[in-house]
Amino acid sequence: MNYLIGDVQGCCDALDRLLAKIGFSPSRDAVYVLGDLVNRGPKSLQTLRRLRGFGASATCLLGNHDLNLLGVAQGVRQPHRGDTIAEILAAPDRQAWLDWLRQRRMAVFEHGWLMVHAGVVPQWDMAQTLALAAEVEALLRGDGLAAFLPQMYGDQPARWSDKLGDVPRWRFVINALTRIRFVSADGTLDLASKEGPDSAPAGFTPWFDASQRRTEGTPIAFGHWASLGLIDRPNLIALDTGCVWGRQLSAMRIDGGRRELIQVECAGD
């Protein structure tokens, strides 16, 4: 059986309860964790240990909090007062964990679903989304990461163009795949607004409701947007249900067109 799982964010106890409720067996089942494996919850290092221990049975996407860990570890990003990644950074095998994170995916298409952490811009179809994600994956795994990380942060460029040079191009792709919530009709990102869909700035909509979105017919699963909560549409699943904020950790079984939602209550654990 195959399961999508929303943002864990270091809530390893909740993850264990969810996997137990599923009856997850790494010899039989597969889980796809939609990014933000670590941070803000109390057991980020234990979460990484748990997920890595499942080997190929756990496919983990990178979210903005996971990339933040890489930036802090490199010294190009100051820890936020709410960050809970100190245990990873102080671990004697910290480099092994950072290297493991660098090997994770930015986007995956399996079992009929395009999986990303946050979303996609209207200009991209599935093939371009996967190709651009692969570019960033190669960057993260390569020798150029240390030089790129200081340039990874920032909200510009705000709109996609095929003519973007390497660093602006990669920064935009990362922002789209790990931070997007609202877009304008021409695909311009608004990265400042973080509340629910009703808080969209004038002229902006949630990315998945954008007109002429080229992935409109592609089933997409994502997390990232805790204030959005659960969405279960025929071609859209949103699974960040705010575990780290004391709500639920959610999984969705996806097998042969059948869906089943499984949730556990969380207490920031």
How would you list the strands of the sheet with 182-184, edge to edge? 189-190, 182-184, 204-206
Q: Is the pLDDT of residue 52 over 90?
A: yes
Q: Is the pLDDT of residue 80 over 90?
A: no
What per-residue confidence (pLDDT) applies to 268? 61
pLDDT, average across residues 39-53: 97
Identify the CA nearest to 47 among candidates 77, 82, 88.
88
pLDDT, average across residues 33-58: 97
When the pLDDT of each residue in the chain is averaged and rounded to a whole number, the result is: 96
CA angle, 259 then 38 then 147, to 5°: 120
* Rg, Å, the chain Cα set: 17
From residue 268, give the alpha-carbon distance in Å to each of 39, 42, 58, 94.
11, 7, 23, 24
Q: Is the pLDDT of residue 49 over 80?
A: yes
From residue 221, give the alpha-carbon distance in Å to each of 7, 42, 104, 187.
12, 26, 17, 20
Report residue 235 as tokens: 């071609």
Which residue bears the tokens 């929303």? 6
| Domains with residue ranges and CATH for the chain | 2-265 (3.60.21.10)
| Coil, strand or helix at 33 | strand
pLDDT, average across residues 228-251: 97
Q: Is the pLDDT of residue 63 over 70?
A: yes
pLDDT, average across residues 200-226: 96
Distance CA 233, CA 220 (A): 10
Q: Do 218 and 128 meet the contact criterion of CB atoms below 8 Å apart?
A: no
257 vs 13, higher pLDDT: 13
Query: pLDDT tens digit string along 93-108?
Result: 999 999 999 999 999 9
What per-residue confidence (pLDDT) applies to 267? 79
Q: Do 29 and 264 meet the contact criterion of CB atoms below 8 Å apart?
A: no
Taking every pair of C-alpha atoms in the chain, what is the biggest distance, in angstroms?
49
**Omega before 157 within 30 of 0, i.e. cis:** yes
**Reported pTM:** 0.96
pLDDT, average across residues 5-14: 98
Query: pLDDT tens digit string along 108-131?
Result: 999 999 999 999 999 999 999 999
Q: Is the pLDDT of residue 257 over 90?
A: no
The sign of the CA dihedral 144, 69, 251, 27 is positive
pLDDT, average across residues 87-95: 97
16 vs 255, higher pLDDT: 16
H/E stretch holding 146 = helix 145-148
